[in-house]
Amino acid sequence: MIRPIVMHPDPRLKKPCAPVAAVTDEVRVLGGDMLATMYAAPGIGLAAPQVGVLLRVIVMDCVKGADATPRPMVLLNPEVIWSSEEVNTYDEGCLSIPDQYADVTRPKVVTVRWMDLDGATQEETFDGLWATCVQHEIDHLNGKLFIDYLGPLKRQMITRRMEKWKRERAREQV
């Protein structure tokens, strides 16, 4: 089931999320819904607070190209356990901040540990777009958005654009 995406600015996007204690049916449904919501958007990553659930769950699939085999991933309680000195700059966007993009510099390679939907611990080293995406999504679980890496003027400009967009959208829906 596709869930509505929470749009910035919203207090739910600024809160630290609680760890997942156990893989329940509710968590499995959440993971599936988040993947469906991400693919429909379309996007390459989504964090639970973006569908209004304040739990440490992210989904991603950074496989590119229509002919490529998709790799849907659901990560519970993900944490970066190693990051490279080498950095990478990407023009990032966010499904909660549509049509707004900005360069963000992050470690180029990260090793992440998480729990999968079978309750098993997984560990993987991500590079390039996957590394950027997983760090962006983990930030969401700590109430941090990519615009928080920008200077205050750029951040305020994007936030004001989003407030205006939300007002206009609210009017259209009346």
**DSSP letter string over 64-95?**
-STTSPP--EEEEEEEEEEE-SSEEEEEEEET
Q: Is residue 94 near Ni ion by the rule CB under 5 A?
A: yes
Which residue of the set 26, 124, 137, 168 is catalytic?
137
74 binds Ni ion (CB under 5 A): no
Q: How many chain residues bind Ni ion (CB under 5 A)?
A: 1
Residue 141 binds Ni ion (CB under 5 A): no
Element (H, E) at 109: strand 109-115
Helix (H) or strand (E) holding 141: helix 128-141
* Minimum separation from the CB atom of position 55 to Ni ion (A): 16
CA distance 164 to 30: 30
Nearer to Ni ion, 23 or 129 (CB): 129
Least distance (Å) from Ni ion to the CB of residue 154? 16
Cα(152)–Cα(101) distance, rounded to whole angstroms? Answer: 15
Q: Which is nearer to Ni ion, 123 or 148 (CB)?
A: 148
Q: Given the rule CB under 5 A, which residues bind Ni ion?
A: 94
- Enumerate the active-site residues: 137
